[in-house]
Each structure stands twice: as structure tokens, then as C-alpha cells.
Amino acid sequence: MSTFHGKNVVVTGGAYGIGRGIALGFAAEGANVTIADINDEVGSTVISQINDIGSKAILVAADVSSAKGCQKVISETVESFGGIDILINNVGISPPDSYLALDAVPESLWDRIMNVNLKSYFLMSKFAIPEIRKRGGGVIINTASVQGLQSMKGVSAYAASKGGILSLTRQMALEYASENIRVLAVNPGTIDTEMVRVMAANVTEDTHEIIQEWGKSHPIGRVGTPADIANVVLFLASDKASFMTGEYVNVDGGFMALGAWAGGAGSE
């Protein structure tokens, strides 16, 4: 029997990159998976991949930066699978036009990043927790970033949102520990995702070359993959991590140990 057989998992931003890797990882371990994403075409492809694995999955096309979208995700998951055991708050954006000094960031752009990267984590948790409570407990894992700990120029909104996720993780862990709901975070470093490739394209036309160069600046000698993040998330969500809550894990190829990493590469 697989580790998560019979467990119901929700992954926001599950159509791309890290979210897709996490969704596929849980499916491979027997979970029923809900993918919440605004891109239903790409999300449908991931659903097909999960079905090929032999697990059950649904796609909920929803904007989780709104309460209405989050409620839709929760209600359709409960209707399809009967409840929620694990919530993965993963969705995040770092628009190419947002790399600006703080005084040059439009208020609308700041709000958009905060709504997607931070407010959605609040809203999804708010509506998922009553369902997780009905199951006798569960796990919430938030995708933050090493930029929530250290940062670089030009990413004020993104860095603030990721720092907020880490603080929210600690608060939620204390709030719900007595109800057997564990809350944790992962901090990806530079991961080879669509978002990072967009960043790379702003540097050079040869995105493969620049990503290889970023990899050389990591102590481990490469950038990460979505599977690297998924493997840690699956551990944190499992009973093997039953004494962990309110904590984060850096999955960054050694960047935070190296220090002053922001001068060497991009980030998730």
C-alpha cells in the first residue's frame, strides 16, 4: 500500500513547475489529487498523467486569490473525494515586469503579487481547515522561498510575500497543533521551472546556458528540479515527520549555507 493511499490532497498552482511535481509525487504514492489552477488546458494534461499513474485526480479551474475561487476548490474536492487531508499552498507569481525598485512598483502590481502569493494561502487554509478538522487532522504545507529569508534588489513584493508565508506558517502551526493539524513550509532555491526560465529569458536568449551557469554557483553544482521539492514535501506530509510543525526546510542546493547567494543566481 502506498504512503498516501486514501488521502485527499489539494495542490494550488498544480499545473506547472513545482506544483505539478508535487501533484505527481502524491499521485505516485496513491493519493487522490485536486489540482487548482487558472490554466485548465495545462492542468488537464497533468490530470491525464495522474490517471496514467493509476490515481484519481480532478482539476478545478479557479483563481485562488479570491474567496470565491478558494471555496470552489474546497467544495469540489469534498464533493469528489469526500474530504481533505492535505493542503499544499503552492501557487506563486513573480511577473517579469515586477523587477523594480520599491518606489517604482505600481500599487496594482504589488496587490496582485500579494493576493496570489500570500492572500491565497490564508484563504485556502481558512476554508480547508474545517474540512481537515472533520478528518481528525492533517497537514498544510506552504511553498515559500529562500527569498523569504534573504533577498536581492528588485523583488520587494515577491520577497515580502514569501516572508509573510513563513510567518503565517508559524502562526498557523501554533493555532492548530492541538487539533492534530501540522503546518510546515519549504523554501525552494533555484528550481528549473517555467517561472525561472522566464527570468532566464530576461538575461539571455540561451536560457539553458544561463540555468547551467546558475547551477554552477550552487554548492551542489546544479539547479533543482520540481521532483527535488516534491520529495521533501511528501516526507513532511507523511507520518515520518509527525513531530514537525511550525518549521521550514530549505531545499536550495546549499545556497543558504553558502550565504550571499542572491548575487549568484535567480530563485524559485
Task: List the catalytic residues.
Answer: 158
Q: How many helices (H) and strands (E) does the chain have?
A: 10, 7
Report the C-alpha gap between 163 and 149 in whole angstroms.
7
Closest CA relative to residue 128, chosen from 139, 117, 114:
139
Closest CA relative to residue 78, chosen from 9, 180, 179:
9
* DSSP structural state of residue 7: -
Q: Which amino acid is at 144?
A: A
Q: Is 211 helix (H, G, I), strand (E, B) or coil?
A: helix
Cβ atoms within 10 A of the Cβ of 125, count? 22
Q: What is the CA radius of gyration of the chain?
A: 18
Q: Is 220 helix (H, G, I), strand (E, B) or coil?
A: coil
Helix, strand, coil percentages, rounded to 5, for the chain: 55, 15, 30
Paired strand residues for 138: 181
Report the C-alpha gap between 182 and 232 in whole angstroms.
15
| Residue 230 · residue 22 · CB < 8 Å | yes
